[in-house]
Amino acid sequence: MPGKNMGWCPGCGNYKLLDSLKEALPELGIDPRNLVIVSGIGQAAKTPQYVNAHMFNGLHGRALPAALGVKLSNRNLVVIAESGDGCMYGEGGNHFLHAIRRNYDITVIVHDNMVYGLTKGQASPTSSMGMKTPVQVNGVMLEPFNPLAVSLALDAPFVARASVGDGERTKEIIKQAISFRGFAVVDIFQPCVIFNKLNTYLWFKENTYYLPDEYDPTDRIQAFAKATETGKLPLGIFYRKEGRKVYEDLLGITDTPAYEHTVSEEAFERMLDGYR
């Protein structure tokens, strides 16, 4: 949103992610009046403040349940849930697991900068072991959360990773995720230039590579192998499984939005008759 007073630091990876998203949306022909971006709390969660689209900026960790409510109440809307690694994988970890199980048709964009920025530099669930912070004074001791492996374990039908350093490829992955019918997870590497001195633009560039063209994204076992690779980290679409029924269909939800819900008088009378 031009002229908006941006809440991000100069050089923040969020700007690049925002650019990719804002390019992707019109290229997909999405009408802003038909798009809802649901977010949690944190710097990444401010993204929808700067996009011309409907916004439900909820609570820390709770983007996915709120997005569920939106999608199930008006399935005609395009719904994106967007937040950072702390919000989606930490505070919202339980929701992340169960959201994948539901497989509702939304796109989940996670800004993964491997650190807590807004709370000033503590470890995030994806921080590398050994990284020192004001709280993890002897270095991070916990094994990092692997969002791709977890998603694959729960058979999320679309699992991808991008890196904001490559805006064009990031945009393409976002476009594929939004176009995908089902629960699409996109973990996006992005540097925090203030608090993460380890995972910088250069670090991401030197420590990632794209899955080769001949990679078969329908092979879940191979996707799992790629998601658990150590050393250089793969980018691209790890897994893509078409045809899994979405939750809206399983629930039998029609195209009629909830704001047009009516109560069948006949069914109501019949219900009361059942209590005689």
Partner 1 sequence: MRHYVNDVSIVFGGAAGQGVQTIADGVVTVLKRNGYHVFACTEFMSRIRGGSNSTEVRVTAEKRRAYVHRIDFLFALNEEAIDHLHERIDDDTLVFVEKSLMKRSADDARFIDTPLAEFAKEAGKAIFSSTVAVGVALGLLGVAPDSFFDYLAEQFAPKGEAVVESNRKAAGLGYGFGREVAERENIRVDLEPAGGTKDALLLDGNAAMGIGAVAAGCSFISSYPMSPGTGLLTFLAQKSNDFDIVVDQAEDEIAAINAALGASYAGARALVTTSGGGFSLMEEGVSLAGVTETPVVVHIGQRPGPATGLPTRTEQADLNLALYAGHGEFSRVIFAPGTLAQAVEAVQRAFDLAEKFQTTAFVLTDQFFLDSVAPVARTEIVRLPIERYIVKTSADYRRYAFTGDGISPRGVPGRGDGIVKADSHEHDESGHLTENFGIRHRMVEKRLRRLDALASESLMPETFGDIRSAGAVVVCWGSSRGVLEEALAVGGREDIAGLHFSQLFPLHPAVEGMLDGKRVHVLENNATGQFADLLRREFDVTVSGRILKATGEPFAVEEVVTALEEV
Binding site for partner 1 (CB under 8 A): 4, 7, 32-34, 36, 38, 41, 46, 48-49, 52-59, 61-62, 64-70, 72-74, 76-77, 94-95, 97-98, 251-254, 256-264, 267-268, 270-272, 275-276
Report in angstroms how near the CB of residue 45 gets to partner 1 at its nearest. 9
Report in angstroms how near the CB of residue 252 gets to partner 1 at its nearest. 8
CA–CA distances in Å: residue 196 to residues 5, 134, 139, 188: 24, 12, 13, 15
Burial track 186-218 (b if 16+ CB lie within 10 A, e otherwise): bbbbbbbbebbeebebebbeeebeebeeeeebe
Report in angstroms how near the CB of residue 145 gets to partner 1 at its nearest. 18
Report in angstroms how near the CB of residue 193 gets to partner 1 at its nearest. 22
Report in angstroms how near the CB of residue 248 gets to partner 1 at its nearest. 9
Nearer to partner 1, 57 or 124 (CB): 57
Report in angstroms how near the CB of residue 195 gets to partner 1 at its nearest. 21
Tell me the longest C-alpha to C-alpha distance in the chain: 74
Nearer to partner 1, 141 or 263 (CB): 263
Nearer to partner 1, 71 or 111 (CB): 71
- The C-alpha atoms of residue 84 and residue 145 are separated, in whole angstroms, by 13
Nearer to partner 1, 48 or 84 (CB): 48
Nearer to partner 1, 59 or 225 (CB): 59
CA quadruple 28, 88, 70, 59: dihedral sign: negative
Any residues with CB less than 8 A from the CB of 261 and at least 6 apart, and which? none
Nearer to partner 1, 3 or 10 (CB): 3
Nearer to partner 1, 32 or 144 (CB): 32
Report in angstroms how near the CB of residue 232 gets to partner 1 at its nearest. 35
Give me Rg for the CA atoms of the chain.
20
